[in-house]
Structure 1
Amino acid sequence: MAVGLCLTVSVGGAALAPAVPAFAENTQVRDLEYWLNDYGFTEAWKTTRGAGVKVAVIDTGVDAGVAELAGAVVGGTDVSGLGSANGQTPIGDGSEHGTLVASLLAGRGTGANSGVMGVAPEASILAVSVAFGTTGATLSNDDQIAAGIRWAVDNGADVINMSLTRNTLDWPPSWDDAFLYAFEHDVVVVAAAGNRGSGTTEVGAPATIPGVLTVAGVDRSKGASFDASSQGITISVAAPSEQLVGVVPGGGYVQWNGTSAAAPIVSGLVALVRAAYPRLDAAGVMNRVIATANPNGHSVPSPIYGNGLIDAAAAVTASVPTGTTAEPAALLEEWIRVHRRADTELAPAPQPTAQAPVAPAEDPALPGASVVAAWLPSPLTVTYISVPLMVLVGFGTLVTLFGIGATRHIKRIRSKR
């Protein structure tokens, strides 16, 4: 099963505008980043800007040479066999996708009021390049994802951003171990819900995996985005997914739509929470993001908005009760126990090991004839002859005795007269 990006091709969250710079001057870009104020990021920056937190972007590779990402990419790898060893060569279908994601997440801008500013502008990026929809890769798309997760964990990722989808509810067993590995190492995994407009009619894996923080999209007015988002019961929170601005490889800006863009906004928020609360574990971090989400007048949780729209300022400052979000590893382990067990039970039973034939033992000798036994009652004669005969004899004896007694009694009465 191929994994895809939600671009105009098929990966977890973006339908790109025409691939030309949308703005003549980068001073215009910052004015278009409405989500920085509308979702509380500029207020949250008074508390933290995400310094010290590493976010792995498992995507098409990140061009670290663009101005907005100068100093942001601190490591990387390629798991496809087609990119550069540091993960910084865009590859595969929609190769610009990874750079767009990274810029929206941790862009540094190009000046005080110019260039794309990410939601966590001091977080660090680990670039993991995957070749989507490309032949010649050393691993399948599914196996590239699994390998990328393990590499990210082993190289210090605190958060993993996955702006991609399989367009199916299920996922390969190899992902069980990979995601468990991330959860057991206290990593928060953020995944895009996918886009209805790109053919993902319902939330697909990895956004269906228990323990993942799944992101749906809303439009500029904070209403449901039905083309630039998919809907489903696994959605955790919602974030903007329309009229977003990102940087493409080589520089230049485009507006794009989709949960591929909503996911890094939430990954950046997770980075802010992890920086503000360094002792908080993954479940606690997710709990803060979910508990501070704004229902915005909607009944939540819902398959459209999850628990509500993210609120960055509240997530890093509000008083939040602890212990209301289950441990991600426990959730996935339980799912594996229930669902993979069924797969195991349906597997064909192992065949017994072949053994050399063994000759049967001789039958025991039959008992010899007995004169005494011939005169003794058998079980059949006892059951069907002897016992009924004894019952009849006993009944006859009682009748006889009763008759004798009655006769004597009558004689005594007559003699007294």
Structure 2
Amino acid sequence: MKRFAAAALAVVVAGTLVGAATPAPPVADDPADGVRAAEYWLDQYGIREAWNTTRGAGTRIAIIDTGIASGPVEFAGAVAGGTDVSGVGTPDGRTPVGGTDRAHGSWVASLAGARGTGDGRGMIGVAPEAELLSVSVGFGGTSSVSFIQQIADAIHWSVDNGADVINLSFTTNTLDWDETWDEAFQYAFENDVVVIVAAGNRGSGTNRVGAPATIPGVLTVGGVDPSGVASQEASTQGITIGVSAPSERLLGVSPSGQLVWWDGTSGAAPLVAGIAALIRSAHPELDADNVINRLIKTASPVPGIAELPDPLYGYGLVNASAAVNAQVATVDESPLGLTLEEWIRLYRRADAAPAPEITPAPVEVPPLPDAEERTAEASPFVPTGDTLLYGTVPLVAGTLAAIMISLGFTAAVRRIRSARASRGPSRTII
């Protein structure tokens, strides 16, 4: 089941209803403005300092969510295109879909690339000069198209329409993912797109990161409170977390134009997606692996954390200024370790070569000799030559010899008796 990596709406910010005028691209920044002052992450995470180098011009961030509303002035001129993959939105992806979560996509987009209300005032995103792509997705039962298929379609459309960064602020609460996503995410990686994913929130029932945050190659973002401590409710933990960013006391522009406070790694992810756009704008020569490498190598270390990546903070707290401006050695492979292509080969065996067919050479077998002509079997009661030679003949010979001996003995006895009778009785002399 899908869960947004965001908590529910908390409170409406007073005095922030927007007008209908279309402002010029943001070139000013008024930290004294109440809304800008509430965006504590602009200073704490080096975003304002990074703006001295770039504001994300020339890059595109795809927001795959419930859709970026077309009404709020903060989005005027920011959305370069969009689509609907749910079947219940509008073709441009600018009509939020869903029930209570329909504002989610606008909140996420405002953190990544809102352009303020003019004169350096109003909510501004991390990359206010980047272009946004609005891809509306129907979560839960709001669409007849399966959620799995919607995300695969959304990723394909985003890549094909020039996305440099894709933001996914949701979780499935399961470690594994459908095989359909193998091809979709690999398509993004092969086309040099940075994919940023929210880790999920304990407060929403996520005790550990789930897909898509478990997919090799994505950069998973954990959440911290305003003081930089891992959030108890608005974040989770897992070995795939790459960096952490604010996930509490966040601002978001609603489809109605009102600003709201909200919590969740759904907000931490687009903050990092905006920084990724700043890197791609300042360093267009870098591929996706090196963009991610800059994000994790320049992250601010968390006191007391020695072994990296940490299951709560990843490699540390994201630092926009360092990520854009620091000297970082380039890499030739993913800094996150195992790639999706390798994972598929090891666990799906999708690209394993088919077993070769065994075709042994024919063996010539010599013909069998002709069978002997079969004779009728003799009766067991009729003697054969062997029985006559070794049985009957010896037996007869032995019997005859015994008879002859017996007759000779009898004749001898008779002769002795006859001789005694002819001599008469015997006499004794005294």
Fold shared, TM-score > 0.5 on shorter chain: yes
Match of 1:403? none
Match of 1:185? 191
Match of 2:420? none
- Contact 2:65–2:136 (Cα < 8 Å) also in 1: yes
SS at match of 2:251: strand
Shift of 1:250: 1.7
Match of 1:87? 93
- Contact 1:79–1:130 (Cα < 8 Å) also in 2: yes
Match of 2:330? 322
SS at match of 2:128: coil
SS at match of 1:24: coil
Return 5+ residue gaps in structure 1 as ranges.
5-9, 350-361, 370-417
Match of 2:415? none
Shift of 1:92: 1.3
Percent of paired sites with the same residue: 57
Alignment of 1:161-176 (within 5 A): 161-176=167-182
Please report the TM-score for the alignment, with normalisation by the length of structure 2. 0.76
SS at match of 1:15: coil
Shift of 1:341: 2.4
Give the Cα–Cα distance (whole angstroms) in 1 for the partners of residues 113 and 298 of structure 2: 22
Give the Cα–Cα distance (whole angstroms) in 2 for the partners of residues 60 and 316 of structure 1: 30
* Residue in structure 1 matching 2:130, options 123, 135, 138: 123
Alignment of 1:14-163 (within 5 A): 14-18=6-10, 21-25=12-16, 27-93=33-99, 94-135=101-142, 137-163=143-169
Shift of 1:344: 9.4
Alignment of 1:261-276 (within 5 A): 261-276=267-282
Shift of 1:23: 2.1
- Contact 2:292–2:335 (Cα < 8 Å) also in 1: no
Give the Cα–Cα distance (whole angstroms) in 2 for the partners of residues 343 and 320 of structure 1: 34
Match of 1:305? 313
The AA in structure 2 aligned to 1:95 is R
Shift of 1:77: 0.1
Shift of 1:330: 7.1
Indicate how the Cα distance of structure 1 residues 204 and 364 shifts in structure 2: closer, same or farther if over 3 A, else same: farther
Give the Cα–Cα distance (whole angstroms) in 2 for the partners of residues 35 and 280 of structure 1: 25
The AA in structure 1 aligned to 2:57 is A
Q: Please state which structure has a larger fraction of its residues in helix.
A: 1
Q: Which shows bigger deviation, 318-327 or 167-176?
A: 318-327
Give the Cα–Cα distance (whole angstroms) in 1 for the partners of residues 180 and 73 of structure 2: 37
SS at match of 1:83: coil
Bigger Rg, which one: 2
The AA in structure 2 aligned to 1:139 is V
Please report the TM-score for the alignment, with normalisation by the length of structure 1. 0.79
The AA in structure 1 aligned to 2:52 is K
The runs of 4+ residues in structure 1 deviating greater than 3 Å are 327-330, 342-345, 362-369
- Contact 1:90–1:129 (Cα < 8 Å) also in 2: yes
Shift of 1:17: 2.7
* Residue in structure 2 matching 1:339, options 342, 347, 371: 347
The AA in structure 2 aligned to 1:119 is V
Return 5+ residue gaps in structure 2 as ranges.
18-32, 356-366, 375-430
SS at match of 1:56: strand
- Please, what is the CA RMSD of the aligned residues? 2.4
The AA in structure 2 aligned to 1:236 is G
- Contact 2:293–2:335 (Cα < 8 Å) also in 1: no
Give the Cα–Cα distance (whole angstroms) in 2 for the partners of residues 328 and 234 of structure 1: 9
The AA in structure 1 aligned to 2:35 is V
Indicate how the Cα distance of structure 1 residues 281 and 62 shifts in structure 2: closer, same or farther if over 3 A, else same: same
